[in-house]
């Protein structure tokens, strides 16, 4: 179907040198888009057109966009983010602020910088913001992270409203439990917890990063031209039921 073809489009995917972001960048590339990848400043580039920029640095968003060459991207995937939580009674302002700055503030101003450049050229575009099922359901020991992901769900809605007059669509993807470098430690150390979640997930397994690529391509493509302000949950059915399966 030609509406899924991204030939002639240019995408910027933040946090895309590994994990979910790398899979999203690859999927967009396979659909025909020219893709700019982004990673943390301490990482080595692993692909052509990779920009290294620590998004916690002052003026990081503008610095990142200044490193782009060629056409202004008309597709933006805000995937960069991380987990810094500690127990709620031990949470300190610095850790809380770091979570909100990386997971929420940089995404907000990344979309702003993207939209300013596109609207200056009177060009349409699409944004995909990666949140999490943690934006809908709380998780133990994850207060700051949960708050940040809930903020991203609302960001999709409010920025869709703000940017509709500029012909820029804004949608989101909320992944469930996905095998990534961020989840590797607990999935390897707590097999009993993995088995618990495999019973809770309707499709019977944790997700792989490749499971998210198709939804990202769809939301960026003309196939989704009449969709904006929506967050697509990609979780294998994790959040559908309250309890999960009792079968062995």
Q: Of residues 108, 145, 197, 226, which has the active-site annotation? A: 145
Active site residue 145: yes
Q: How many other CB atoms are found less than 10 A from the CB of residue 129?
A: 25
- CB-count exposure of residue 189 (10 Å: 0-12, 13-18, 19+): exposed
Cα-based angle 151, 157, 159 (whole degrees, multiple of 5) = 90
Length of the chain measured in residues: 248
For the chain, count helices (H), then strands (E): 8, 9
Q: Whole-angstrom Cα distance, residue 115 to residue 110?
A: 9
4: its two tokens = 């899924």
Instruction: Say if residues 91 and 64 touch (Cβ distance below 8 Å).
Output: no
Catalytic residues: 145
């Amino acid at each position: 179907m030609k509406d899924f073809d991204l030939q002639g489009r240019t995408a910027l995917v933040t946090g895309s040198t590994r994990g979910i972001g790398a899979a999203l960048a690859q999927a967009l590339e396979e659909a025909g888009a020219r893709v700019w990848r982004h990673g943390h400043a301490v990482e080595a580039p692993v692909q052509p057109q990779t920009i290294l920029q620590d998004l916690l640095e002052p003026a990081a968003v503008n610095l990142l966009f200044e490193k782009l060459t060629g056409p202004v991207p008309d597709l933006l995937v805000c995937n960069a983010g991380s987990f810094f939580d500690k127990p709620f009674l031990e949470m300190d302002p610095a850790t809380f602020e770091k979570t909100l700055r990386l997971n929420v503030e940089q995404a907000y101003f990344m979309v702003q910088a993207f939209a300013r450049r596109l609207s200056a050229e009177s060009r349409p575009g699409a944004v995909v913001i990666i949140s999490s099922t943690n934006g809908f359901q709380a998780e133990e020991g994850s207060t700051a992270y949960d708050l940040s992901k809930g903020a991203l769900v609302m960001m999709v809605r409010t920025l869709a409203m703000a940017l509709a007059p500029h012909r820029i669509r804004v949608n989101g993807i909320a992944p469930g439990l996905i095998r990534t470098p961020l989840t590797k430690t607990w999935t390897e150390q707590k097999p009993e917890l993995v088995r618990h979640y495999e019973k809770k997930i309707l499709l019977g397994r944790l997700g792989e990063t490749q499971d998210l690529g198709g939804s990202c391509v769809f939301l960026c493509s003309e196939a989704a031209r009449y969709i904006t302000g929506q967050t697509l949950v990609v979780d294998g059915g994790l959040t559908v039921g309250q309890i999960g399966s009792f079968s062995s």
